[in-house]
Amino acid sequence: MADKKSKVIAIPCDSYDEEKVYKCIKTGLSQLGGFESIVGAEEKILVKPNLLSASVPDKAIATHPSVLKGVLRLLNERGCTDVKIGDSPGHGSCEGALKTLGLKEDEIYGARFTPMSENVHVDFPEGETCKEFDFCKEIVESDAIINVCKMKTHALERITGAVKNVYGFVCGYRKAAGHVKFPNDTVFARMLADIHRCTHPRIHIMDGIMAMEGNGPGAGTPTPMNMILISFDPVALDTVFCYLVNLNPELVPTNSQGYRIGIGTDRDDEIEIILCDGSEAKIIEKNELFDRYGNGAFDVGREKPKNTFLMKYSGFMTKLARRPVIDTEKCVKCGICVDHCPVPGKAVDFKNGKTSPPVYDYKKCIRCYCCQEMCPQKAISPQKGLLRR
């Protein structure tokens, strides 16, 4: 049975020193055969970071440039000559986000920036929850996608990691519409699993050196977890992230739905963690991993949903779920939250004019937290409702 387990490679790494990060990724990948066995030199490759919005590396919002450069360098050493890097950010351009991170196109080992701005409609009749997508054209044109995600909390799904990162495959503003079509954490997670089934990212690499806790994915607090995780299985990888922060993996919809739909496993006995510490590689149990490298105080939603029976009544649930609230002291009235609200007629708007902060209409609000995700001032946070979901 051992060879049927999903392997997750855990590589401790306590700095973003480029050479160190490169060596850690190289060591980790070697446990899975290296890029030699993962991609062909002649293939068209897309490296997909988490670029939520234009942000500097220290904020821990985006995948760190050292991790991206380490991956690109290894692809270059593999002999890959057609490598692009890009994401469809929630706000602003891909090129702007890459440049704000500090990446320069002439320093990324022959890879090229790609805009991820042109839409291609894709039918997916096999989809369980979603049977069509509007992907960026690079997703369709690539032979292999390397998913380089970031270890962060997430208001809707508790965490964002390997499973959630593929939502950036959806082109531009169409991402907001997806929140209306898939309006709660469970169906949204099923749709994400369908994206995985449709696109089959070749491998998942998580930057967990400086993670984000609290009000993630854009307004949380950077916190060191000093870890890089690598796996072919996105659910197993996110499950090991949960082990490291003492979060029950089954509470994460992207894990439970990902397992149900068959893109990976969140079951302890189906996951093998291989610790690459220095020159050693050895199998390690999840408890020992946590004891040595975990952070039980990591600020993430650990509470259980209070009434799963009510989950069936999505409209009722929404009224009881956590509400986004604006801190009017922090708000600069930029209107980005209003622009990103996907609900027709807007559930957050400048009802009192543009010289006052926007105001919520909680009857309309579907609790997608796009406003919270995109607020550049960290002025929006979900506040406790009667139920957590």
Query: DSSP class of residue 381?
Result: E
Enter the DSSP assignment of 57: G
Least separation in angstroms between CB 270 and ligand SF4: 35
HSE toward the beta carbon, residue 219, CA cutoff 13 A: 20
**Min separation Cβ 212 and ligand SF4, Å:** 18
- Shortest CB 347 distance to ligand SF4, Å: 4
* Residues facing 349 on adjacent strands: 359
For ligand SF4, the closer CB: 41 or 177: 177
| HSE (side-chain half, CA atoms, 13 Å) at 230 | 27
Query: Which residue number, 64 or 367, has a Cβ lying nearer to ligand SF4?
Result: 367
CB of 160 to ligand SF4, least distance (A): 16
Q: Do 9 and 229 form a contact (C-beta atoms < 8 A)?
A: yes
Least spacing, CB of residue 376 vs ligand SF4, in Å: 6
Kindly tell me the sign of the dihedral angle through the C-alpha atoms of 39, 174, 134, 194: positive
Q: Which is nearer to ligand SF4, 35 or 369 (CB)?
A: 369
CB atoms within 10 A of CB 11: 26
Q: Give the residue with the Cβ less far from ligand SF4, 112 or 354.
A: 354
Q: Which residues bind ligand SF4 (CB under 6 A)?
A: 324, 326, 331-337, 340-341, 343, 347-348, 357-358, 360, 365-371, 375, 377, 379-380
If the CB atoms of residues 64 and 388 are measured against ligand SF4, the closer one turns out to be 388
Contact 41, 236 (CB under 8 A): no
Q: Considering the complex, state which of residue 184 and residue 254 has its C-beta at the smaller distance from ligand SF4.
A: 184
**Pairwise CA distance, residues 272 & 128, whole Å:** 28
Residues forming a β-bridge with 44: 82
Helical ranges in 201-313 per DSSP H: 234-244, 253-261, 286-293
Residues forming a β-bridge with 206? 149, 229
Please tell me the distance from the alpha carbon of residue 342 to that of residue 363, in angstroms, as a whole number: 14
Give the whole-angstrom CA distance, residue 132 versus residue 122.
Answer: 6
Q: How far is the CB of 386 from ligand SF4 (least distance, A)?
A: 17
281 vs 331, beta carbon nearer ligand SF4: 331
CB nearer to ligand SF4: give 47 or 368: 368
CB-wise, 142 or 372, nearer to ligand SF4? 372
271: Cβ contacts below 8 Å, ≥ 6 apart: 5, 6, 8, 233, 236, 239, 240, 265, 286
Task: Give the separation between CA 260 and CA 193, rounded to whole angstroms.
Answer: 9
- Shortest distance (Å) from residue 297 CB to ligand SF4: 28
What's the rounded Cα separation, in Å, for the pair 183 and 177?
10
CB of 84 to ligand SF4, least distance (A): 30
In b/e form, how buried is each residue of 52-62, taking b as 16+ CB within 10 angstroms?
A: bbbbebebbbb
In whole angstroms, the minimum distance from the beta carbon of 222 to ligand SF4 comes to 20
Q: Is the peptide bond before 253 cis (omega within 30 degrees of 0)?
A: no
Q: At closest approach, how far in Å is the CB of 196 from ligand SF4?
A: 24
- Pick 150 or 175: Cβ nearer ligand SF4: 175
